[in-house]
Amino acid sequence: MDESTGSTLPTRDRILRATVELLRRQGYDGTGVKQIAREADATLGSLYHFFPDGKGQLAAEALRVDADHYASLLRQGMESSDDPAEGIVAFAHLHIEELRASEWRDACLASAAALERIGHSAPVQHDYETALSIWRDIIAARLRAVGVDEATADDAACFALSALEGAEIQCRATRSEKPLVTAGTHLADLFRGLHPTP
């Protein structure tokens, strides 16, 4: 049921991509299914064919897609060095590049959407909790790999995510890279203090 509209992406993928982009910039409450269909160059019939439960189903799936992307970016940064301190700085700069490319408009969808839907959508809340767990473990795993004990690594990863998410909000508000650069620098100092220098 693909529609030929000049895009190389199948209709379902276009709808999902449009949902991710709109939710990042407008949030759940500010985005409607008609706008999603229009941005995806698809009909409402196509949208409901692929996502029969409508906006809620779309948001949950878009959140998973975006959470996977964030996890991939986090892995890329953290695995770029054997030193977790260098890895967290690398991730901060990768995140800055993406924010700058979107002209500071694209939030981490998982966080933005989840905060709007917590208490209203159990699937979205569950998916967000799952995403947080995966992100924390990516960071904690790199710390454990250099000898940091499990409890300390988990706590440091939780703190790191809190700092990075807050820094992203400030970057978007100020249209500046400074909050993420600062967060990355201080998290690196924290990480270096958790394990012996090789």
Spatial contact of 92 and 7, defined as CB atoms under 8 Å apart = no
Spatial contact of 188 and 85, defined as CB atoms under 8 Å apart = yes
Listing DSSP states for 152-190 in one string gives HHHHHHHHHHHHHHHHHHHHHHHT-SHHHHHHHHHHHHH
Take residue 59 and report the two structure tokens written for it: 């948001």
Residue 78 and residue 90: Cα distance in Å, rounded?
7
Spatial contact of 156 and 194, defined as CB atoms under 8 Å apart = yes
Q: What is the pLDDT of residue 7?
A: 56
Q: What is the pLDDT of residue 109?
A: 61
Which of the 8 DSSP states describes residue 54?
T
pLDDT tens across the length of the chain (198 residues): 344 334 578 999 999 999 888 888 787 888 899 999 999 999 999 999 999 988 888 888 888 888 888 899 999 999 999 999 999 999 999 999 988 988 887 766 656 666 665 556 677 777 778 888 999 999 999 999 999 999 999 999 999 999 998 898 888 889 999 999 999 999 999 999 997 655
Listing DSSP states for 24-46 in one string gives HHHTTTT--HHHHHHHTT--HHH
CA triple 188-104-106, angle to 5 deg: 95
Q: What is the pLDDT of residue 1?
A: 37
Residue 87 and residue 74: Cα distance in Å, rounded?
9
Take residue 119 and report the two structure tokens written for it: 């208490």
Q: What is the pLDDT of residue 121?
A: 65
> In which residue are the tokens 């978007």 written?
172
Spatial contact of 67 and 60, defined as CB atoms under 8 Å apart = no
